[in-house]
Amino acid sequence: MFSRVVVAGGSGFLGTSVTKELAKRGIPYVSVSRRDGVDFMNLEDTTEILREHECDALINCAAFIGGLEFVRQHVAEVLFANSIMSLNLMEAARRVGVKAFMNTLANCSYPARARELKEDEWWDGPLHESVLAYGSTKKTRWVQSWAYHQQFGFNTINLLLPNMYGPHDYFDVVRSHALGALIRKFVEAHEHDEPTVEVWGDGSPIREWLYVEDAAEVCVHALELSPGIEPINIGIGRGISIRDLAELVQRIVGYQGSIVYDQSKPNGAPSKIMNVERMRERLGWSPRTDFKDGIRATVEWYRQHRTKILGAETVEENSQPYPSILSGHE
């Protein structure tokens, strides 16, 4: 359907799986990301790279994000970087004549009071303070798609994704989301015969999790949609408490020690469960990966790649993710 698909952020967590899915389907693609030397903070550079690759579709997986503690430490950078990158990518895509632009949004952009997340209620209240900066940038992505459709007839597809897990995730205890951090903690505690594993918060928040390869599959599948600006929830429609999740990871890893909950750490929003009726109706699609099977696969991937992961973290600790952001430099 498309001559070439550009995956922005194609070397990241979701982007890596999206490029694999495109390759599996024989769809021509190119991955562009900061690791390739592409600066999405610069509109002219972004426009030039899209023009060079002559793409007619773009899947936007680019993000500067981590878990609750990472966002707390980098809240201004998270707001600034994600806002500018998203604005530049869509404007550059419009300039070069991209026919279909896919926004990957996040369910943290739903109101804090929402329990079952329904698309028609996406604007019905403020966001939880813990995700206000990042979630607001996802709202801005959608508003930009609406504005560009109104003025330019620009075509977008907007998918609202839950927390994801799987290979190539962050497993750093600060940068990762809850599931990646739990896998790392339990694997290391099991191997070092540690008596306890600490879990942040009181274990009560309920979260929905989507295997990253399922997310990639639906991103590519949704390119076949007739473009429309209305958001579509993507997920399994079920959640699990952090306490139950920790105990499940504990069993899969084989750890025999105890779990200790650090209630001084933030819980985040109480519950996030997606209503996926629109997904089933519009896409005729449902995730395939069983949750336990997905966790087992992720644990195995982490064990196989841990040495490389830890080495990459050491390099990242000694560098600034975006040296020019809020640094006072031109």
Catalytic residue among 29, 110, 134, 302: 134
DSSP 51-74: HHHT-SEEEE-------HHHHHHT
The pLDDT assigned to 313 comes to: 57
Return d(Cα 194, Cα 132) in angstroms, integer: 36
Residue 212 has φ and ψ, to the nearest 5°, of -60, -30
Domain 5-317 has CATH 3.10.20.740: no
DSSP percent split of the chain into helix, strand, coil, nearest 5: 50, 15, 35
Picking from 275, 255, 105, 78, the residue whose alpha carbon sits closest to that of residue 175 is 78
pLDDT tens per residue, range 199-214:
989 999 999 999 999 9
The pLDDT assigned to 314 comes to: 46
pLDDT tens per residue, range 110-124:
999 888 899 999 999
Q: Where are the domains of the chain?
A: 5-317
The token duo for 20 is: 């694999």
The pLDDT assigned to 321 comes to: 52
Residue ranges, the chain, pLDDT below 70: 173-174, 310-330
- Which residues have a Cβ under 8 Å from the Cβ of 104 and sit 6 or more positions away? 14, 59, 60, 61, 159, 161, 219
| 134 tagged catalytic | yes
Return d(Cα 144, Cα 60) in angstroms, integer: 13
Return d(Cα 254, Cα 67) in angstroms, integer: 25
3-class DSSP state of 280: helix
